[in-house]
Amino acid sequence: MKRILKNISWRSLRVWQRNYDVYLATWKVNFIPPLLEPFLYLLAFGVGLGQLVNDVTYNSTQISYLKFIGPGLIAVAIMNHGFFETTYASFVRMYYQKTFDAILSTPLTIEDVVFGELLWGATKSLFAGAIMLIVMIFFNLVSFPFSLWVLPVSFIAGMTFSSMGMCFTAIVRNIEMFNFPVFLFITPMFLFSGVFFPLSTLPLWAQYVAWFLPLTFLVSAIRAIALGIFSFNILLQLLVLIFIAFICTLLCLMMMKKRLLK
């Protein structure tokens, strides 16, 4: 573990900068879809589904369904943008474009490259979280300015989900194989982490299962922050996310080193 951490340096930022340059060069493609995302969700769930759903009890007060799912959707965007960046996008760079191989002939180490990719994935999560948050603030769905704490949380959770994604990237043989983690991992989290309904409506055993899903911690933390309800649970949930990020970062660094050095 010491050896892995020793090989990470500030040079990781060079990889981040490379990805940022590419992002800026194609910013219209990168910026417009994430901006449309919250509008579509709010339209579908708020205006569509919201008509059929009564207010939801949260923290022993009644809030509108839109206010309830809004923060959940922020959490989903954070998860998706981090996870998809270090799975599909990193895989294309590693496997098809040989970008990593090229960088490895410069003073950067494999650890620098992989960690730089994780930082970039987390940055994409931050961007996605920020865009969602701005739209929610605009529609007065979240408290202001306390909800700005969503931003640092986006980056932290971004590290969690991008390091998890990178673990899969280190083991898949081809790009189609990402279907497995997406359908067995991302989709269940999307549905059962308390984004669309309070976990308390699930049977007790299902609630326990839900607390094994990383997204559950993020949804819970973001919802409390966005609605301006501070509690120590938030810190606890963040600690869990940081712990997962740390473990998955170590894991993916080891596995990527093995994969790239064969």
Partner 1 sequence: MLNNINNKIEMVKASKLAKTFYNIIAVNNVNFSVYKQECFGLLGPNGAGKTTTVRMIYCFLEPSGGELIVLGKNVLKNPREIKSCIGVCPQENNLDPDLTVWDNLRVFARYFDIGRNEARARCEELLHFVGLFNKKDSRIDELSGGMKRRLIIARSLINKPNLLIMDEPTTGLDPQGKHQVWETIMQLKGQGTTFVLTTHYMDEAAHLCDRIVIMDKGDIIMEGRPRELVENNIGSNVIEIYSSDSEIENYMKSKNLKYEKTKTHYYIYVKGGEKELTEICERFGSEICSLRMANLEDVFLKSTGRELRE
Residues binding partner 1 (CB under 8 A): 11, 14, 17-18, 21-22, 25, 97-99, 101-109, 261-262
The rounded distance, in Å, linking the Cα atoms of 127 and 253 is: 24
Given the complex with partner 1, which of 9 and 143 has the nearer CB atom? 9
How buried is residue 254: exposed, middle or buried, by Cβ count under 10 Å (0-12/13-18/19+)? Answer: middle
Given the complex with partner 1, which of 16 and 168 has the nearer CB atom? 16
Q: Nearest distance from residue 113's CB to partner 1, in Å?
A: 10
Q: Nearest distance from residue 260's CB to partner 1, in Å?
A: 9
Given the complex with partner 1, which of 121 and 194 has the nearer CB atom? 121
Closest CA to 219 of 134, 161, 139: 161
Given the complex with partner 1, which of 180 and 258 has the nearer CB atom? 258
**How many CB atoms within 10 Å of residue 218?**
31
Q: Nearest distance from residue 197's CB to partner 1, in Å?
A: 41
Q: Nearest distance from residue 127's CB to partner 1, in Å?
A: 18
User: For residue 157, what is the enclosing H or E element?
Assistant: helix 150-171
Residues in the chain: 262
Q: Nearest distance from residue 105's CB to partner 1, in Å?
A: 4
> Which pair of structure tokens corresponds to residue 105?
């002939």
Q: Nearest distance from residue 46's CB to partner 1, in Å?
A: 37
Given the complex with partner 1, which of 40 and 92 has the nearer CB atom? 92
CA separation (Å) from 223 to 36, 96, 147, 178, 219? 21, 39, 9, 29, 6
Given the complex with partner 1, which of 97 and 231 has the nearer CB atom? 97
The rounded distance, in Å, linking the Cα atoms of 258 and 262 is: 6
